[in-house]
Structure 1
Amino acid sequence: MSTVTTAGHLIVRQLERSGVKRVYSVPGESFLDVLDGLHDSPITNVVARHEGGAGFMALAEGRLTDLPGIAMVTRGPGAANAFIAVHTAWQDATPLILFIGLIPVADRGRESFQEFDINAWFGSTAKKVLTLEDAASAARVVDDAIHTALSGRPGPVVIGLPEDVLVHEITTATVPPRPLPVQHAPEAAVEDLITKLSAAQKPLIIVGGEGWTDKSSDALASWSLQHSIPVAADFRAYDAVPHDSGSYVGFLGYSRGDYLAAAVEDADLLVFLGCVRSDVLSDGYQLGLGVETIVAGPDPDIVGHFGRVDLQINAGVDALVGQLTGRSLDAGRETTWLSGLRAAYELFNTPSADGGLGVDLSLAMAELKGILEPDTVITYGAGNHSVWAARYLRHNSADSLAAPRNGAMGMGIPAAVAASLIFPGRRVVSVAGDGCFMMNGQEIATAIGFGATFIAVVVDNGCFATIREHQEAHYPDRPSGTQLTNPDFAAWARSFGGHGERVERTEDFRDAFTRAAASGLPAVVHVITDPSTRAPKSSEEPV
């Protein structure tokens, strides 16, 4: 039944009908009517302190749930600040919808206050850019955006909201959410996949992307173990299969083990499931280019894939895993292919002392690995600090990692806020570098305001270590522009009403983390580390 309403209020009603539970925003006068619609809505409006923080919170929502994350910001400067989340969602293939308030229609083209060209800004970095020109179309536009963000290769959609159009009175009702296509693979394609896997002596499945559930993750891991097929993960898709499964052999991309790169080259069949052979995964378009390759996933265009494709299967991850694991392989391959890679992974995943001053991160991560529950959600941004978390912390639950695959700094803390709100019963830990933390560390205020709890382990080495590492390689003894002046991060957390701990010795880390966890507050464990330590010491041996 239609009632008189406004476009702004109808947008909120359509989000409600679509199952949205939270939006992340920084308020602006350009979308006041949407904010008013949220006043009486069951949707929680999580008010962030910066548009980049709001965007990253929405990105984490899209990564960890089955709906796009929703962010709302104002025109011009607000849109510019939120751009980082759109770029991350595009490169990460994560569903996100960014609503941007716009100037009144009559003011266009006059260089009016905070005017910008929404299509020029976002046209190459979003799946679709829409502007609400007709108030009566508000519900349809929102539904179209959600469908686009989730369909095929997931990604961001941007919706412009002219402030005068939002207040137009209309009698249009919400629309039924459009169902997503169920992407089952053709039986002939599944047969071909089974035949190729059966014939291969050294197959390797590489998993990634969105759409994994505990059911599909566990099913693929068990089926692969049964058939002695190793499973590796794409960069920052480490939660696609459980690490405690005997079929999991580690991750590719930055900081991957040499043993796994060698395995990609040595394999006689590569199956990319939910991901593609991208730049980062392939060490800059180098690994596995001559190996027989199957690409299976929801994207018919396989955006970002480089090199050979012998079979492409267009199907959703969940559906294809169900089809695949319901079949048996006719294979007599040696079990040593899997067992050797699994042993190499276990060795690579075993911390040894890094040495140096302050807290030894390898040993601290070993302590943390022993403390955390199997379903702990881990977040981080970009920087050398993430190497220790990626290498030593294990994921045994789907939807347990929110980190930027495009290497955007500043995501870890906003993602932790969102993860805590999404999963209030699960532990959330963010491993943050000092540079990364300071980009959006103010979102601790958002956590305090909305009851989110997480523990941030802030790694303080006093520099932008990743860039310093490159300088040491290319411009030795000439560090420039990479030093940092840091606050007392523990005091920072306490100033917002959270809990803070400062740790200068490895042996004090466990107790400090335990106190932070027991506080029940957003907490920071400020860890002082050696500025000359760039990565964990290698513990690899030849496979």
Structure 2
Amino acid sequence: MTMSAGHLIVQTLEAHGVQRIYAVPGESYLDVLDGLHDSKIHTVVTRHEGGAGFMALAEGRLSTVPGIAMVTRGPGAANAMIAIHTAWQDATAMVLFVGLIPLADRGRDSFQEFSLEGWFSTTAKGVYVLDDEHQAGDVVARALRLASTGRPGPVVVGLPEDVLIRLTDSPVPDLLPLPDAAPSAAGLEKLSTMLGAARRPAIIVGGDGWDAATAQELADFAAAAHVPVLADWRAYDAIDHDSPAYAGWLGYGRAERTVAALNDADLLVFVGCTRSDVLSEGYKAALNTPTILVSNDAELVGHAGRIDAHLGVRPAELVAALPAGESLRGTRGPEWMARLRTEQLAFTMPGADGGTGVDLGLAFEALEAALDADRIITYGAGNATLWGHRYLSHHGPKSLVGPRNGAMGLSVPAAVAASIMHPGRHVVAICGDGDFFMNAQELAVSFAHGGTPLIIVADNGIFGTIVDHQRRHYPQRPSGTSMENPNFAQWIESFGGHGEFVETTADFAPALERALASGLPAVLHLLTDPTTMGPGTVAHRAEANA
């Protein structure tokens, strides 16, 4: 069947299970847009390329196929760069399609010309440029597979506009299967032997490669084997927080005792993640502890410190091969796991922060109680998110989207995408005032596509994380960290959404109830005390102990 290269790209995406693409349209890829006209793929038109990229990242995090974003030439690609960097550092599968200038115009500094390889080659798994219309389907299939295999990540595909309109008889390529694997007998024996002999082992889970069955089976194994489970930064939906094995997360805002547990452990088993920068307290914690890595990333990107064994498989493949947990207890009793679990429950018990405005410690207690168990929580970056990390629970994988690389502006577009993907589920974005307005425009997309996210904006009028550092390193010298904000509730109401400006703790729970019942995209704008930093920060602890 003869068709244009642009239409073949769309049909290949369909055949590979893509349900949505997030796009800012451009004249450079009009033929792809034309192919989408008659496609069953849902085209979500966003307001900014950074928003499109973050929505695609959320899709990749919350589904089983890479998220897809489409943008145009130089300025569009530049705006999308933040999502590619985030997907790379977060190890999340996505594919960015970039419309390019015609082949004949290359090398002449033509309108919006840039080097796709030069811009993206150091922060993407692969960069392809479609120079041959007959390869259109194969390039797309290869990009989708590369994004998903090994350590997941972003792939960038350039689409010269003149190549897209050329005709081809090439068929839609078959779905390329992911490699099948199982842990080697030797690797599994070493894991079993070391785990059986350890007195204070810990399993550390992370990454995106989790499904509900795998997460539950690993949690059950850990509980039976008397092994506590810690989670990587912003990857703690890999285990049900009600599991008796769950002992908290590592990284920013964590409890001090989780780092102590990491250092006290006599065996660490990383499943789906590595001993990376944030998890290891800046490459300082537990670098020489006996370590088993379960990761299908042959290069172990980002890992620091000791390796005793590397099982090159995904979490599901490990779990399928594990023996019964009871068989690997050795002489280990439940005391180590039980103590860490008890400490985790105490750490997540809400309490008053004090100060003026809305007390977030008490507000998040009400939020936790009001949300359904299958809630999806999205985060931006900044101290405002730490209350959510501490006080909001997760009960299965693919329920958390947050930038592990600390990129601001992700919370709103991620929540919009999640709400479009999962209508009827509670989807809540947790963000500060600085993070919110970086991509707040994407809430407009919710109205066009039926999304109903709830956005919680903690407004303290400052860039809180930076102020926290500034107060410690440059005390009494605030500089470049304050903001003046409009009324965000009135702003969302101007779209036709639900908005409330909340100034006191007592007003939060009723406002939350109204927002959840509204059936509309909603913003709760919370006025908070700028002197109260997030729970777990040095400033917060110092004030709490004063």
Which TM-score applies when normalising by structure 2?
0.97
Asked if structure 2 preserves the Cα contact closer than 8 Å seen for 1:14 and 1:174, the reply is yes
Counterpart for residue 369 of structure 1: 368
Task: Deviation per CA, 1:113-156: give whole Å up to 9, x if none.
Answer: 00000000000000000000000100000000011000000000
Q: Give the secondary structure class of the aligned counterpart of 2:238.
A: coil
State the match for 1:509 in structure 2: 508
Q: CA separation in 1, counterparts of 2:144 and 2:420?
A: 21
Aligned partner of 2:470 in structure 1 is: 471
Partner of 1:494: 493
Alignment correspondent of 2:14: 16
The residue matched to 2:123 in structure 1 has which SS?
coil
Matched with 1:60 is 58
Instruction: Give CA-to-partner distance per residue, 1:200-239, whole Å, 9 cap, x none.
Output: 0000000001111110111111111111100000000010
Q: Say whether the 8 Å CA contact 2:95–2:147 is kept in structure 1.
A: yes
Q: Could you say what the CA RMSD is over the residues aligned between the two structures, in angstroms?
A: 1.2
How many Å separate the matches in 2 of 1:388 and 1:324? Answer: 35
Q: CA deviation at 1:325?
A: 5.2
SS of aligned partner of 1:439: coil
Is the CA contact (8 Å cut-off) linking 2:106 and 2:113 kept in structure 1? yes
Cα contact 2:226–2:329 (8 A) shared by 1: no
TM-score in terms of structure 1 length: 0.98
2:434 counterpart residue number? 435
Q: How far did residue 318 of structure 1 move?
A: 1.0
Q: Deviations over 1:72-127 (max 9, x none)?
A: 00000000000000000000000010000000001001000000000000000000
1:421 aligned partner, one-letter code: I
Q: CA deviation at 1:290?
A: 2.1
Cα deviation digits, residues 435-465 of structure 1 (max 9, x gap):
0000000101001111111100111000111
- Displacement of 1:186 in angstroms is 1.0
How is 1:223-234 mapped onto 2 (pairs within 5 angstroms)?
223-234=221-232
Alpha-carbon spacing, 1:37–1:326, altered in 2? closer, same or farther (3 Å):
farther
**Which whole-Å CA distance do the structure 2 matches of 1:96 and 1:465 have between them?**
30
Are 1:36 and 2:45 counterparts?
Answer: no
| Alignment correspondent of 1:356 | 355
For residue 347 of structure 1, report the CA deviation from its aligned partner. 0.9
Counterparts of 1:512-531 in structure 2 under 5 Å? Answer: 512-531=511-530
1:538/1:395 CA distance change after superposition, 3 Å: farther
Q: Give how far 1:187 is off.
A: 2.0
Deviation string 1:471-521 (CA, Å, 9 cap, x unpaired) is: 111111111111111111111111111110111111111110110010101
Answer whether contact 2:225 2:329 (CA < 8 A) is retained.
no
Partner of 2:313: 315
Asked if the contact 1:374–1:397 (Cα under 8 Å) also holds between the matched residues in 2, the reply is: no
CA drift of 1:39 comes to 0.4
* One-letter amino acid matched to 2:252: Y
> Closer, same or farther in 2 for the Cα pair 1:85/1:396, shift >3 Å?
same
Moved more, 417-426 or 347-356: 417-426
Aligned mates of 1:306, 1:183 — CA distance in 2: 25
Match of 2:135 in 1: 137
Counterpart residue number, 1:461:
460
Instruction: Say yes or no: does 1:424 pair with 2:437.
Output: no
Query: What is the distance in 2 between the residues matched to 1:532 and 1:60?
Result: 32
Which SS does the other structure have where 1:76 is aligned? helix
Counterparts of 1:213 and 1:94, CA distance in 2 = 15
**Count of matched residue positions in the alignment of Structure 1 and Structure 2:** 538
The match for 1:407 is 406
For 1:168 and 1:433, the matched residues in 2 are separated by: 47
Q: State the distance in 2 between where 1:269 and 1:230 align.
A: 11
Q: Which 4+ runs in 1 deviate beyond 6 A?
A: none
CA distance in 2, matches of 1:369, 1:538: 22
> Structure 2 counterpart of 1:408, which letter?
A
Q: CA deviation at 1:425?
A: 2.8
Please list, as runs of the form range in 1=range in 2, the aligned pairs for 1:277-292 lying within 5 A after superposition. 277-292=275-290
1:251 aligns with 2:249: yes
Gaps of 5+ in 2: none
User: Which one of the candidate residues 178, 189, 192 is aligned to 2:190?
Assistant: 192
Q: CA deviation at 1:183?
A: 2.6
How far apart, CA to CA, are the structure 2 residues paired with 1:313 and 1:439? 40
Deviations 1:343-397, CA, capped at 9 Å, x for gaps: 1111111111110000000111111111111110000110011110011100012
- Percent identical among aligned pairs is 56
> SS at 1:318's partner residue?
helix
Number of the residue aligned with 1:128: 126
Amino acid at match of 2:244: G
Partner SS state of residue 268, structure 2: strand
